[in-house]
Amino acid sequence: MLKIKKHIAEKLYANFAAVAPATGELTADDFASFLEYPPDDNFGDLAFPCFKLSKAMRMAPPMIAAKLAEGLEDDVIAKVDVVGGYLNIFISASYLAGVLMPEIMEKGEAYGSFDFGKGKNVVLDYSSPNVAKPFHIGHLGTTVIGHSLKMLHEFCGYNCIGVNHLGDWGTQFGKLIVAYRKWGSREQIEDVGIDELVALYVKFHEEAEKDEALNDAARAEFTKLEQHDEENTALWKWFIEISLKEYSRTYKQLGIEFDSYNGESFYSDKMPAVVKELKDKNLMTIDDGASIINLEAYNMPPCLILKRDGSTLYPTRDIAAALYRKKTYDFDKNIYVTSAGQSLHFAQWFKVVELMGYDWSDKLIHVPYGTVSINGSKLATRTGNVILLKDLFAESIEKVSAIMEEKNAALENKAEVAEAVGVGAIIFHYLMNSRIKDINFILEDALNFDGNTGPYAQYTYARTCSIIEKAGGVPTITPDASMVTAHSEAALLKTLSIFPEKVLAALDELEPSVITRYILDVCTAFNRFYHECQIVTADNMTTRDFRVALTSCVRSVLGKAFELICMKKTEKI
């Protein structure tokens, strides 16, 4: 639809310029941005609101509409209706079948892609769980939003570097070391894995409420770790190893791989240089013994760089990481996907990087997302009030398996398909709404397999695969307008034409839900076509081949859209 909009806009602008030579600052691109999608396709495929030109043309909108409509119809524009102050524009079947459809058939899953990111590097910092803590539903947002943004950038030509900035440093390791020595065993941890580390962490906090001395002991053990104590360092590395084994299982289920696992500890030896640079540039001041950057002039509280005892804080580490990444990757964008609760933190240290004189500070981008609660209760690792992702996935997979056993017991690779659909259901449910929206996660809603859900979308994809298989493959045809004999065929082609536009919108807004909602639009349009039109059993071969080829176009668009939101394709369900 982008090409269609451009074509229509240029013709409208030419008519506008002929009537109003003093066009001012308006351009053909502005006209393209004014085009709207009507709420009902009876009002056209696109609509142009002429009231936006009232000031420039000094005419009433209905008169403007009449002037602009002159001579618009051509091979792309089938009909133009003047309705009040609107132009209702109908796209021709000859363009949809003769130009758009061959493009999708030729490009396959590359349809909708762009190359404007070619030669540019994008660093995406996402997922980043705290080591020795469980991968729970609260981590799902940063993980799937971050990976979806990576896929979108790659689809637009960027070279992407996915960074898992592990939370592998801090006093929590002192707590874990104390807990392990008091109540843990190596055999139990090796056998149970990260769940045992979590149990020890929870027990530490329970006991510390009774005995404050445990917190002092934890701080002392972490200090020893900072000083490279051999025994504590060995334990710390072991805790990380145990954690990564667990995380890798979840990432495999999600189909996610990272290019770097450099976490907080990686930047420990790089922070002194940051502190020195801040001092040398006279940006740092002392406030009650702590070293801060005063940001009062920017309506923000001070950014803390060093505690009273001289130890570093998160801003110090993040600044060091940004400097390292710019030097290492020379990024065009450095994107951070974290909860909205960290927005002030990122705004503060982004401003500090700017004050340090780095002209790339505007390439630092925070992508916030809303909080997740469970039936209204806030997540908290130390109390054990979490839903582990592995448990959530297991429950969803189990339900899918039961449905498949009932409806298609003979299906090959049932376990693999059940995992793809079960995990996909959770991802789709999460990415349905705007990322900034807070989510009260209710399992019954996530695992509802009726309506606008992941399983519905994956079943639709499987249906396209089944049709193509029954037809013996995708026929070689040259589509034209004469082959479009049903309204649902044209409507489906129009829906497919919007995919490139949705890709750009999702990238521009850094919003995966744009793709998720578009998937439902495609599924709705295809299933209407499927129920209204015979495909493999069509009356004649020309119609049959056209409809099978159209089905293959749907398969290509859905397949790529799934990848863009971390969902796996399912050829059979």
Q: Which of 165, 79, 66 is nearest to 123 (CA)?
A: 165
Q: What is the mean pLDDT of residues 271-282?
A: 95
* Averaged pLDDT, 29-50: 88
Q: Each residue of 484-515: pLDDT tens digit?
A: 999 999 999 999 999 999 999 999 999 999 99
If one counts every other C-beta atom within 10 angstroms of the C-beta of residue 213, the result is 9
Whether pLDDT at 373 is above 80: no
Task: Name which residue leads in pLDDT, 118 or 403.
Answer: 118
Give mean pLDDT, residues 344-372. 96
- Token pair, residue 315, equals 């801003």
Give the lowest-confidence range in 124-128, 323-327, 362-366, 449-453: 449-453
Average of pLDDT values for 100-128? 96
Tens-place pLDDT, residues 240-268: 999 999 999 999 999 999 999 999 999 98
- Residue that wins the pLDDT comparison between 13 and 464: 464
State yes or no: pLDDT of 555 exceeds 90: yes
d(CA 296, CA 304): 13
Q: What is the DSSP letter of 269?
A: G
- 49-96 tens-digit pLDDT: 998 888 888 888 898 888 888 888 888 898 999 888 889 999 988 889
Per-residue confidence band for 26, with pLDDT thresholds at 50, 70 and 90: confident
pLDDT at residue 380 greater than cutoff 60: no
The pLDDT of residue 384 is above 60 = no
Separation CA 396–CA 447 (nearest Å): 6
Q: Among residues of the chain, what percentage have pLDDT more than 70?
A: 96
Residue matched to tokens 């289920």: 253
Out of 31-40, 200-209, 370-379, 481-490, least confident range: 370-379
| pLDDT value at residue 385 | 57
Which domains does the chain show, CATH number per domain?
2-91 (3.30.1360.70), 121-270+313-383 (3.40.50.620), 389-435+446-564 (1.10.730.10)
Dihedral of the CA atoms 338, 341, 345, 346 (nearest 10)?
A: 40
What average pLDDT does range 510-530 have in this prediction? 97
pLDDT digit string (tens) for 122-173? 999 999 998 888 888 888 999 999 999 999 999 999 999 999 999 998 889 9
10-24, 39-53, 314-328: which is most confident: 314-328
Categorize the per-residue pLDDT at 466 as very low, low, confident or very high, splitting at 50, 70 and 90.
Answer: very high
Name residues whose C-beta falls within 8 Å of residue 347's C-beta, 6 or more positions apart in sequence. 300, 366
Q: In this structure, are residues 196 and 183 in contact, taking their beta carbons and an 8 Å threshold?
A: no
Residue 477 has pLDDT above 80, yes or no: yes
Q: Rounded to two decimals, what is the model's pTM?
A: 0.91
Residue 379 has pLDDT above 60, yes or no: no
Closest Cα to residue 547, out of 461, 465, 479, 499? 479
pLDDT at 468 over 60: yes
Cβ contact 555:465 at 8 Å: yes
Separation CA 2–CA 365 (nearest Å): 27
Which of the four pLDDT bands, split at 50, 70 and 90, describes residue 447?
low
CB within 8 Å of 456: residues ≥ 6 apart: 449, 450, 523
Most confident of 130-139, 166-175, 315-324, 410-419: 315-324
Per-residue confidence (pLDDT) for residue 443, from 0 to 100? 64
pLDDT of the residue at 506: 98
Please report the pLDDT score of residue 71 as a whole number.
87
SS3 165: coil
Q: Quick one: pLDDT at residue 374?
A: 65
Lowest pLDDT segment from 7-11, 308-312, 399-403, 528-532: 308-312
pLDDT number for residue 170: 85
- Cα 190 to Cα 172: distance, rounded to the nearest angstrom: 20
Query: Rounded to whole angstroms, how far apart are CA atoms 454 and 424?
Result: 6
The DSSP call for residue 45 is S
Mean pLDDT of the chain: 91
Mean pLDDT value of segment 450-455:
85
Instruction: Using CB atoms within 10 Å of the CB of residue 444, give its burial: 0 to 12 exposed, 13 to 18 middle, 19+ buried.
Output: exposed
Q: Give yes or no for residue 382 having a pLDDT over 70.
A: no
pLDDT(383) > 50: no
If 0-12 CB within 10 Å is exposed, 13-18 middle and 19+ buried, where does residue 396 land?
buried
